[in-house]
A and B are shown apart, each in its own frame.
Chain A
Amino acid sequence: MKKIFYIPVFVMLLLSWGCNDDEFLNRPPTNILTEEQVWGDEGQVLSLLGNLYNRYVDLGNFRDFERPGLDNLTGWTRVADFNEAFWSESGRYKEFQNSGWDLNTWSIWDYGYIREMNLFIQKCEAAEKLSPEVKDRYLAEARFLRASYYFELVKRMGGVPLILEPMTYDFSGDPTYLQHARAKESEIYDFVIKEADEIKTKLPANAAEKSRVTQAAVLAMQARAALYAGSLAKYGVNTPSVSLPGGEVGIPATLATGYYTKALNAAKEIISGSVGTYSLYNKKPDLSENFASIFYDKANNPEVIFADDYKLQSGKVHYFTGSNQPRYGAEEEEGGRINPSLNFVEAFEKLDNTFARIPTTNAAGAPLYYANQTDIFEGRDARLGGTVMLPGTTFKGRTVDIWAGFQLANGSIVSGDDRGAQKTLPGKTVPEQVVGFDGPIDGFEFTAQTGFYLRKYLDPVVGSGQRGVNSEVWFIRYRYAEVLLNAAEAAFELGQPAAAAGYMNQVRARAGLVKPLVAAEITFDRVAHERRVELAFEGHYHYDIQRWRIAHIIMDGNAISAADLSKDLGKATKRNTQPWALWSYKVYEPGSPNNGKWIYKPVKLSRVTGADRFQLGNYYSLITDEVINNNPKIIRNPNH
């Protein structure tokens, strides 16, 4: 036994013998970088900056939105709320059965992020080993990210404490010196606009750079922020109770013109081409396909100004295509979650610049028969087909199989309750398919329950809908078309309708609406409509109706009847409280000329039982009790 004990002792002695104690105990850590190491190397600083870039908060994007103390908002839901689409997933029907949104649905309050950006700026300024040009660019990028986050905060929360340097607690037991009151809403917008002015010259003017900030991205942010501030100032009077006496919420109307002018000038600077050559994407002859390509074509895309980029096999990929791919032939046993609503589809104009419902019946109420399934959508804005996957169109080379059943001569319907279900039609002996493999089947998840799938952002690359592969389609944060529309809105509000028409006509011509609008036709409704259809599912709709103070009119809590559906088309305040569906049926009337043709019926899905109401308290999100307990100087938002 003694031997067994001695042997290890001997081995241990042998090992410790050869050690130099100092060297052994003072080894540099392999998993932590020191301050000097980080700030002495450009690559290290860039990776720090990369971390800050990755935490950028968007209007909506593909990533799950993590909210401290609340449920995550699932990535794909973030772009498709407000009844522009129905969500074809069983766990989410409840969103269409309630009557609105919690006051904290969109709350953000990440001062940890702001502190880290402030720390970055402070340390970067002090860093001596970086070359001046690189340092200037890094500093400008960090300040852009900080301004972007303040912009996001002010949109959702109103005026917030404006903290521009890292604060440190001195452990004295009295934290009051760290507590700051909320700034005015206008002060935060002023800060964002001013930062943009100061940093833009320090950034490259390079249209090929999409995922890092460029001069154009800064100007695009400035234009958007100034436009938001201007419209809040102008339209705030429509909701007098959404304001606070100290100006934390609410901007005086007198400031509107100044903000609109700023927005127009910033947009003009991009349009003039002085910060890089940007233009509308116009590479493909088929206008609908061209529109869809804006979002997935990453090679020399002249329209994209700033994007959240993804890359296959890099770890930064997303599953948006998987969540929303057509269910039939999908690369996984799921998909089809976002179903654009009929309300949204009907918003697209006809090529003669007029609004009309999707013609399912004639004036007398008799059904209209169509030879091809897509005929009913003919002669409309090409963006419809580019945004929405219409029945009868293709994705990844396969035609989506969306049809609800057979319509018999006696008015009855033969349909099934499973994807591609088979039944025997009267007068036949062999069962055949009576409903599409993509639905629509009421209450059957992942089928196109509204009769439509989403096309925007869907990646046509093989494997994009596979869990193990995912997609590298980027999320575009700023694109040239939005800049044009921002310019158009600002020009319209400044009383220059001819200039506004000029900007809008460029965007419209790309969508096939070649008949130009004249100055007299530019109204608020026109401006609002153009943004709704061009920027659909990009996260803009929410903040647009919010800053125009019409959200509570659009979502007033009243259900939509079939008659309401086609009323007031093209009006900005048209009710949009419930998503409707449009189902297509094949006509089965042997011997009749209509046999084999298509008819369409608007349908209200049985899972849609609630009607949304946007409360006045939803205009600005809830600041939690936790925040207010820690800092009693914070005052609550109106109606909370």
Chain B
Amino acid sequence: MKIRFHFIPLLALLVLVASCGKDNFTEPKSTLSGQIVYKGEPIGVEYNQVRLQLWQPGFGKLAAIDAQVDQDGSYSALLFNGKYKMVVPKGRGPFKTLEKDAAAKDTLFVTLEGNQQVDLEVMPYYMIRTPQFAGAENKVTATLKLEKIITDASAKGIERVSLFINKTEFVSRATNVSVTDIAGADIKNLNAITVETEIPALVPTQKYVFARVGVKIKDVEDMIFSPVQKVEF
């Protein structure tokens, strides 16, 4: 019996080791990363809402590799070396993509060899400037300016400006503990916007929240956001 007790774990180990076959593919090793920017400034979005698509032609049927854009406008994808086309799905993102020429349209051609940084330059409808957050007893106040970037025929109005707060640094429409909206019609001066929201009772208690301001543009799905800021109160 004693021998058997030693024998069983050894056998189990053998089975485990034996079933680790060698894969006949090497795993992808090159990281493509970067940010969505306007004139070098990152564009904040909601996490898991805006995505880039990477298409790699030349291997038969096509399917996009999705790269989700993070809250600070950054993205990354682990890929095989090769030639990729990077696009933003039509209608997504709080911005317009830039068309280089009639043939390439807004596609960005990336030749990946090793890790690479590629920033995607876009044209946002608005930019949030100088967002300031201040915490007080049970409330957070944000002041900001909005700069209208697109002013031609395709310009769009503001539907609302919202201040979101959350217990963690993931702050979005879907995850927040409190939100206050100002309708676009009520905004008279783009250079002086103030939003205030109350902090509800937090369980467990914490003396800080994370805040960010988002702007919903009319007829555009995704909102543009300020950076997330930790606010003590």
The 3 closest A-B pairs by CB, nearest first: A99-B174, A639-B91, A557-B173
**Contact residues, A479-510 vs B (CB, 8 A):** none
Known: A617-B221, A636-B90, A638-B90. A557 touches B174 (CB 8 A): yes
Please report the C-alpha to C-alpha distance between residue A616 and residue B89 in the assembled complex, in whole angstroms.
Answer: 13
Contact stretch, chosen from B60-68, B106-114, B130-138, B182-190: B60-68
CB-contact partner of A239 in B64, B89, B176, B219, under 8 A: B219
Please report the C-alpha to C-alpha distance between residue A617 and residue B221 in the assembled complex, in whole angstroms.
Answer: 9
**Which of A240, A556, A557, A616 is most buried by chain B, counting CB atoms within 10 A of its CB?**
A557
13 further interface pairs, Cβ-Cβ under 8 Å (given A240-B219, A558-B173, A610-B174): A98-B174, A99-B173, A239-B219, A557-B173, A557-B174, A625-B64, A626-B61, A638-B90, A638-B91, A639-B90, A639-B91, A639-B221, A640-B89
Does B158 belong to the interface (CB within 8 Å)? no
Tell whether, in the assembled complex, residue A241 and residue B219 are in contact, meaning their CB atoms are under 8 Å apart: yes
**Which of A99, A100, A615 is most buried by chain B, counting CB atoms within 10 A of its CB?**
A99
Q: Nearest CB to that of B216 among chain A residues?
A: A556
**Contact residues, A78-112 vs B (CB, 8 A):** 98-100
Does A304 belong to the interface (CB within 8 Å)? no
Tell whether, in the assembled complex, residue A615 and residue B221 are in contact, meaning their CB atoms are under 8 Å apart: yes
**Contact residues, A595-627 vs B (CB, 8 A):** 610-611, 613, 615-617, 625-626
Q: How far is the CB of B225 from chain A (nearest CB, A)?
A: 14
Does B85 belong to the interface (CB within 8 Å)? no
Please report the C-alpha to C-alpha distance between residue A639 and residue B221 in the assembled complex, in whole angstroms.
Answer: 8
Q: How far is the CB of B78 from chain A (nearest CB, A)?
A: 20
Known: A241-B220, A557-B174, A639-B221. A617 touches B63 (CB 8 A): no
What total of chain A residues lie within 8 Å of the partner, measured CB to CB? Answer: 24
Please report the C-alpha to C-alpha distance between residue A626 and residue B62 in the assembled complex, in whole angstroms.
Answer: 8
Tell whether, in the assembled complex, residue B90 and residue A640 are in contact, meaning their CB atoms are under 8 Å apart: yes
Instruction: Give every chain B residue within 8 A of A241 (Cβ-Cβ).
Output: 91, 219-221
Does A629 belong to the interface (CB within 8 Å)? yes
Please report the C-alpha to C-alpha distance between residue A99 and residue B48 in the assembled complex, in whole angstroms.
Answer: 11
Please report the C-alpha to C-alpha distance between residue A616 and residue B90 in the assembled complex, in whole angstroms.
Answer: 12
Tell whether, in the assembled complex, residue B61 and residue A625 are in contact, meaning their CB atoms are under 8 Å apart: yes
The 12 listed contacts between A and B (C-beta, < 8 Å) are: A99-B174, A100-B174, A241-B221, A556-B173, A557-B173, A557-B174, A613-B173, A613-B174, A616-B221, A638-B91, A639-B89, A639-B91
Please report the C-alpha to C-alpha distance between residue A611 and residue B172 in the assembled complex, in whole angstroms.
Answer: 11
Q: How far is the CB of A538 from chain B (nearest CB, A)?
A: 29
Q: How far is the CB of A609 from chain B (nearest CB, A)?
A: 9
Q: How far is the CB of A514 from chain B (nearest CB, A)?
A: 40
Q: How far is the CB of B122 from chain A (nearest CB, A)?
A: 16
**Which of A240, A638, A639, A640 is most buried by chain B, counting CB atoms within 10 A of its CB?**
A639
Please report the C-alpha to C-alpha distance between residue A98 and residue B64 in the assembled complex, in whole angstroms.
Answer: 24
Instruction: Give every chain A residue within 8 A of B91 (Cβ-Cβ).
Output: 241, 616-617, 638-640
Please report the C-alpha to C-alpha distance between residue A404 and residue B89 in the assembled complex, in whole angstroms.
Answer: 48
Please report the C-alpha to C-alpha distance between residue A639 and residue B49 in the assembled complex, in whole angstroms.
Answer: 12
Does B92 belong to the interface (CB within 8 Å)? yes
Q: Nearest CB to that of A611 among chain B residues?
A: B174
Does B146 belong to the interface (CB within 8 Å)? no
Please report the C-alpha to C-alpha distance between residue A626 and residue B220 in the assembled complex, in whole angstroms.
Answer: 28
Tell whether, in the assembled complex, residue B62 and residue A625 are in contact, meaning their CB atoms are under 8 Å apart: yes
Please report the C-alpha to C-alpha distance between residue A239 and residue B55 in the assembled complex, in whole angstroms.
Answer: 29
Please report the C-alpha to C-alpha distance between residue A557 and residue B220 in the assembled complex, in whole angstroms.
Answer: 15
Tell whether, in the assembled complex, residue A625 and residue B173 are in contact, meaning their CB atoms are under 8 Å apart: no
Does B179 belong to the interface (CB within 8 Å)? yes
Instruction: Give every chain B residue within 8 A of A626 (Cβ-Cβ).
Output: 61
Instruction: Give every chain B residue within 8 A of A628 (Cβ-Cβ).
Output: 62
Instruction: Give every chain B residue within 8 A of A558 (Cβ-Cβ).
Output: 173, 179
Please report the C-alpha to C-alpha distance between residue A629 and residue B63 in the assembled complex, in whole angstroms.
Answer: 8
Q: How far is the CB of B223 from chain A (nearest CB, A)?
A: 10
Instruction: Give every chain B residue within 8 A of A100 (Cβ-Cβ).
Output: 174
Please report the C-alpha to C-alpha distance between residue A558 and residue B61 in the assembled complex, in whole angstroms.
Answer: 39
Q: How far is the CB of A244 from chain B (nearest CB, A)?
A: 9
Q: Nearest CB to that of B177 among chain A residues?
A: A559
**Contact residues, A526-582 vs B (CB, 8 A):** 556-559
Instruction: Give every chain A residue within 8 A of B64 (Cβ-Cβ).
Output: 625
**Contact residues, B37-96 vs A (CB, 8 A):** 61-64, 89-92
Q: Nearest CB to that of B63 among chain A residues?
A: A625
Please report the C-alpha to C-alpha distance between residue A628 and residue B179 in the assembled complex, in whole angstroms.
Answer: 40
Instruction: Give every chain A residue within 8 A of B62 (Cβ-Cβ).
Output: 625, 628-629
Please report the C-alpha to C-alpha distance between residue A60 and residue B49 in the assembled complex, in whole angstroms.
Answer: 28
Q: Nearest CB to that of A100 among chain B residues?
A: B174
Please report the C-alpha to C-alpha distance between residue A240 and residue B174 in the assembled complex, in whole angstroms.
Answer: 24
Q: How far is the CB of A68 from chain B (nearest CB, A)?
A: 16
- Interface flags for A133-147 (1: CB within 8 Å of B; 0: not) read 000000000000000
Instruction: Give every chain B residue within 8 A of A611 (Cβ-Cβ).
Output: 173-174
Q: How far is the CB of A246 from chain B (nearest CB, A)?
A: 13
**Contact residues, B175-232 vs A (CB, 8 A):** 175-176, 179, 219-221
Instruction: Give every chain B residue within 8 A of A617 (Cβ-Cβ).
Output: 91-92, 221
Q: Nearest CB to that of B164 among chain A residues?
A: A558
